[in-house]
Structure 1
């Protein structure tokens, strides 16, 4: 009887043990894990916020890891900009004599070299001034010969002093008239070379006045046509506008709230329609605010050696504002918002671990980490969304 009771007790204990182990065995079978490995699998389950990946998986996912450290945070201000010629490199070619346009040798967009003849004016005023100079020159040469003759006779005691002094006075008068005639031609914008060539110039060319380019550049405006009177009262005096476009300016409309942050010499970048980026510097900050737009006018100068920046173009300017040095700077691409909080994924021996961070100042590409990271720690900086997605899968409850 006692033996029978012992057998029943052992059977009851065995059934209770099997019943208690049944759920665990069921889960192990469902998960494809051998019962004797269930405890080992439980130990290897990733902790909360941990994403386990091997180095091969990290490389295959193209997840870039980078050590964090100090850096500079700079604010970028974006504002509309209009490209204009540099006012210091613009020349307005004027007719300084009254006459009629005989030739225009340049068209819009043509290049001109300094000193090159770009137009010719038919002018009676110039003809009269040239004729007066040639007459004064001929008279001067004659009086010079007579004076030198009288001087030689006087030194030899052949002629009286009175005749010598008279010849000298006439000679000096001729010299004054020649100087006045020369100054008149210079006032009509004739060079010394042109004046010196007048005695050999054909009579038919006395009325012609050559207009030369004062600077090298491109013709951006043509103000007159052939046959048009110029230079007189009530008539146009300007023939061309030439601009040296190797340097251009940009007029930038900056909001009034940001105008106080700008200074002369600050760096500015603009990008043209082809995507090229040009770097320049601020040269002028207007203290006046436009009432209609509540913006201030800021000017910046840009080198333009191949004329890729065209005056009149409407572009966007990026101005670098005040920079700040921070202890920990990370790319914005490394930050993931999880449950409404900023997080990064820190590299661990098994993969990555989610870590909440507090962010501070930032610019378009980078942001400061105030707390949560230390310099030297490695974090994922590219394809971080894959880690966020993998972490989300782990948080899905089992059925």
Structure 2
């Protein structure tokens, strides 16, 4: 038995000598005989107070990193939020949608806007011809003329009374008539306002051409876009079961998101909470806030209506689209976060690639909570370290290449 042990020891020593004298021998064979020589291409030694640690290094110059399109960023502090994800639908903002309707009987003489056209607040979008508006304008003109004459007579009689030339009775009659004509003018003016004419249009009536008396401009009350057109040229509109709505104008610079929240989650939802909106097929997200939480729960679905408001300057979010809303329940600031694209897994262990003067160093990390496209790093990184943020798979592939030769 002792002889066999001596033979094994001698064989081991001989193998070690062969490996030492034969540098071209494969590393797999080196391990078979009990020697694991460090591969200088894939690792470097870092000295510390404890045992020596091998840190895999991928050598790359700045030019190679640029050609490989590897994006760099710095690990730093960030905000991690816990969100409640609920389905939702984009709907127009209730204060930013207008049904442009007529207030008189007439026919459509002009249509200056069509579906999809942009309109400005106060812009003329249609012109009507109406006997009703012609009568109202004529009444206003007559009342204005009568009032001007009566006011002059009242002023003259007052002057005569003050100079003791005229009688008091004449002055009082004249003053009373002037008050009545002024009242009739105000009533005629109110009729025009009720028919939809603006202050400037009413002021311009006395100097307008006679042919324009029967025409009335229809203006948009808001800036936005024409979403619907309900009439055609020559359509009779107005009362007596006729169409009264001409256009629907929508301002989509801000929209609402109608959400369905389960009754069990309602205690966590408050007006003013931040909401992040996303949709399948869109890379953009929108940040808004909860503006309404219904006090009622649907008896069939056991959900409540919650409304959030989001900005929509580019009109990315179209009414009717289905979205996912992440309602922020709480937020906390963490010292180290990295983009989710910076994380790779090697043998099931999350890793990142830290930029060094020679290239990249593989670093094992412990991942915490996720916030959208960012991840909390619990340990393994310190704030300010430069890491590979995008296109990191080639680095993993390089690290995973077999380093042993058969």
TM-score of the pair, normalised by structure 1:
0.71
How far does the alpha carbon of each residue in 1:217-252 deviate from its partner, in whole angstroms, 9 at most, with x for none?
111122223333323133332221212222222223
The answer on whether the counterparts of 1:67 and 1:375 sit within 8 Å (CA) in structure 2 is no
The answer for the alignment partner of 2:357 in structure 1 is none
How far does the alpha carbon of each residue in 1:1-27 deviate from its partner, in whole angstroms, 9 at most, with x for none?
xxxxxxxxxxxx9x9897344431564
Q: Shift in Å at residue 266 of structure 1?
A: 0.9
The answer for the alignment partner of 1:153 in structure 2 is 160
Shift in alpha-carbon separation, 1:272–1:118, aligned structure 2, 3 A: farther
Q: Secondary structure at the match of 1:58?
A: strand
The answer for the alignment partner of 1:366 in structure 2 is 375
Q: Shift in Å at residue 199 of structure 1?
A: 1.8
Distance across 2 between alignment mates of 1:109 and 1:64: 41
Moved more, 145-154 or 173-182: 145-154
Q: How does 1:30-41 map to 2 (within 5 A)?
A: 32-34=19-21
Distance across 2 between alignment mates of 1:146 and 1:282: 64
Shift in alpha-carbon separation, 1:207–1:67, aligned structure 2, 3 A: closer
The answer on whether the counterparts of 1:268 and 1:282 sit within 8 Å (CA) in structure 2 is no
Which structure 2 segments of 5+ residues have no match? Answer: 23-29, 45-54, 355-359
The answer for the alignment partner of 1:222 in structure 2 is 229
The answer on whether the counterparts of 2:226 and 2:250 sit within 8 Å (CA) in structure 1 is yes
Q: How does 1:135-150 map to 2 (within 5 A)?
A: 135-150=142-157
> Over the residues paired in the alignment, what is the CA RMSD in angstroms?
4.7
The answer for the alignment partner of 2:273 in structure 1 is 265
Moved more, 271-280 or 95-104: 271-280
The answer for the alignment partner of 2:186 in structure 1 is 179
The answer for the alignment partner of 1:211 in structure 2 is 218
Moved more, 112-121 or 270-279: 270-279
The answer for the alignment partner of 1:59 in structure 2 is 59
The answer on whether the counterparts of 1:68 and 1:374 sit within 8 Å (CA) in structure 2 is no
Distance across 2 between alignment mates of 1:177 and 1:270: 59
The answer on whether the counterparts of 1:118 and 1:213 sit within 8 Å (CA) in structure 2 is yes
Q: How does 1:41-80 map to 2 (within 5 A)?
A: 42=34, 53-54=43-44, 57-59=57-59, 72-80=79-87
Q: Secondary structure at the match of 2:291?
A: strand
The answer on whether the counterparts of 1:70 and 1:375 sit within 8 Å (CA) in structure 2 is no
The answer on whether the counterparts of 1:111 and 1:217 sit within 8 Å (CA) in structure 2 is yes
Distance across 1 between alignment mates of 2:297 and 2:184: 58
The answer on whether the counterparts of 1:126 and 1:208 sit within 8 Å (CA) in structure 2 is yes
The answer for the alignment partner of 1:7 in structure 2 is none
The answer for the alignment partner of 2:7 in structure 1 is 19
Is 1:281 the equivalent of 2:268? no
Moved more, 118-127 or 278-287: 278-287
The answer on whether the counterparts of 2:42 and 2:56 sit within 8 Å (CA) in structure 1 is no
The answer for the alignment partner of 1:199 in structure 2 is 206
- Of the three residues 134, 141, 159, the one matched with 1:134 is 141
The answer on whether the counterparts of 1:117 and 1:213 sit within 8 Å (CA) in structure 2 is yes
- Of the three residues 294, 306, 326, the one matched with 2:314 is 306
Q: Shift in Å at residue 89 of structure 1?
A: 1.6
- Of the three residues 220, 231, 246, the one matched with 2:253 is 246
Moved more, 240-249 or 262-271: 262-271
Q: Shift in Å at residue 360 of structure 1?
A: 6.4
Distance across 1 between alignment mates of 2:73 and 2:121: 56
Q: Secondary structure at the match of 1:225?
A: coil
Shift in alpha-carbon separation, 1:96–1:52, aligned structure 2, 3 A: same
Shift in alpha-carbon separation, 1:232–1:388, aligned structure 2, 3 A: same
Is 1:107 the equivalent of 2:95? no
The answer on whether the counterparts of 2:260 and 2:304 sit within 8 Å (CA) in structure 1 is yes
